[in-house]
Amino acid sequence: MRDALDNPFNPGSDVIPAVWAGRTSQLSDWRDVLRPRRIAGLYERGRTILGEPGLGKSTLVRRIAKDAAAAGDWVTDQLRVPSGADPLKLVASALLKLADAAGLPASREHRIADALSRVQAVAVSGVGLTLRDREGPEPHSALTDLLVEIGTAAARRGDVMVLIHIDEVQNITDGEALSQLLIALGDAIIHEITVDVPGGRIKRNLPIAVYLTGLPDFEDMAKARKVATFARRFKTETLEPLSDDDLSAALQEFVLQGWEVSDGAGGTVRIHMEQKAATAIVDLCRGEPFLFQLAGEQAWYADTTQTITVDDVRRGWRTARREATAHIERILDRLPGREKQFVEAMAALPPQERTLSRIAEAMGLSKATDAGTTSQRLDRERGIIDRGRLYTFRHRALEAYLTSDWPEV
């Protein structure tokens, strides 16, 4: 009954798991703020969702995109930017698909035909596009023009959103490409059209929503490239680990009524979970969505009975422990040298002694202010620590790895 076909846990990257935990504020932001405001023609910034690996950034926006598509919105695929790739070509190809969904290729208007033609050229040549023997806009202008046409078609429908999701944005290392991409998207977000309403004419924004997802490094890159429109036109949020309450709530269905699966004979059965087993999974993953899915997956595979026991969780974790450890090591290893030194020094101190001055001393620095910038980055940009009179870890799995508190069973 508990086999690979029925397992509702999935630690795979970008996969929307059946057992969903937390992120209610971000889902509510889409459902209750961003979508209704943009459909109503009101201005609302794009969203940039950043965070360390394993926190579910891409999965979150894939969930939003799935809900949007189910509501009839026009949604791009998850546009993952490979390292060194031209993001303009990627977005141009996606916009051509959206234009087809909006019925724009069938239009005989010269303006729309020209926009399609120019974006087709961008899809081929990308940021290196040159329009010889005739005047024409920069690639970002061509993208903006087509996106405006798509948004205008959606506005005429009255109940349709255009949603664009660009993932792994930290891989856009070309400054010109990054600038042109953010300007194109930002210009479309603020674009206004004039519409007729009872009693006159008004201006409204287009029903276009843009999500950017990636590692925390992206915000520094955008600032370093001095892309002025980024800070004004995109609202940035750094994801943190989930709370234990969020994770416990996700497992309540198992504990109370059981998770329904096929019995292999045309009927269904319910897989239950002991309360102690649910508590053990929550304790093991320390707020990490990836580790939560990993612990659940291996507990499911640990036996075939209709009840997941605490022993199943322990046996499963022994199988998963190597992968879990490697996941945390990757997070630690990608930190710049000074930041890695800071968290290691902080973890080595007793919790009641984790002040900035003591951490700086443990790092071999002469004064606390020498570690101030590093601590700010670990707090504001990465969401790994919380600063205060005493410094604490927000990333509890990283803290556990760096101390003797790392789960062993």
Task: Specify the pairing of strand 307-308 against strand 268-273.
Answer: parallel
With b for 16 or more beta-carbon neighbours within 10 A and e for fewer, the 105-119 pattern comes to eebeeeebeebbebb
Distance from CA of residue 100 to its chain's centroid? 27
pLDDT band at 114 (very low <50, low <70, confident <90, very high): low
Q: What does the pLDDT read at residue 174? A: 82
What's the rounded Cα separation, in Å, for the pair 342 and 334? 14
Q: What does the pLDDT read at residue 374? A: 95
Which residue, 181, 241, 271, 194, is CA-closest to 386? 241
Q: Which amino acid is at 355?
A: T
pLDDT band at 228 (very low <50, low <70, confident <90, very high): low
Provide mean pLDDT across the span 180-191: 90
Q: Please say if the pLDDT value at position 195 is more than 70.
A: yes
pLDDT band at 388 (very low <50, low <70, confident <90, very high): very high
**pLDDT (tens digit per residue) in 305-314:** 999 999 999 9
**Bridge partners, 195 (sequence order):** 202
Q: What does the pLDDT read at residue 345? A: 96
Is the distance from CB of 207 to CB of 166 less than 8 angstroms? no
What's the rounded Cα separation, in Å, for the pair 306 and 312? 12
User: CB within 8 A of 110, min separation 6: which ones?
Assistant: none
- The percentage of residues in the chain with a pLDDT greater than 70, rounded to a whole number, is 89
**pLDDT (tens digit per residue) in 34-86:** 999 999 999 999 999 999 999 999 999 999 999 999 999 999 989 999 988 88
Sign of CA dihedral 347, 353, 357, 363: negative
pLDDT band at 130 (very low <50, low <70, confident <90, very high): very low
Q: What does the pLDDT read at residue 88? A: 85
Q: Please say if the pLDDT value at position 110 is more than 60.
A: no
Q: Please say if the pLDDT value at position 132 is more than 60.
A: no
Task: State the residue for tokens 């965070």.
Answer: 51
Q: Please say if the pLDDT value at position 341 is more than 60.
A: yes
Q: What are phi and psi of 212, to 5 degrees?
A: -115, 135
Which residue, 181, 188, 239, 206, is CA-closest to 57? 239
- Nearest 5°: CA angle at 140, between 116 and 155? 60
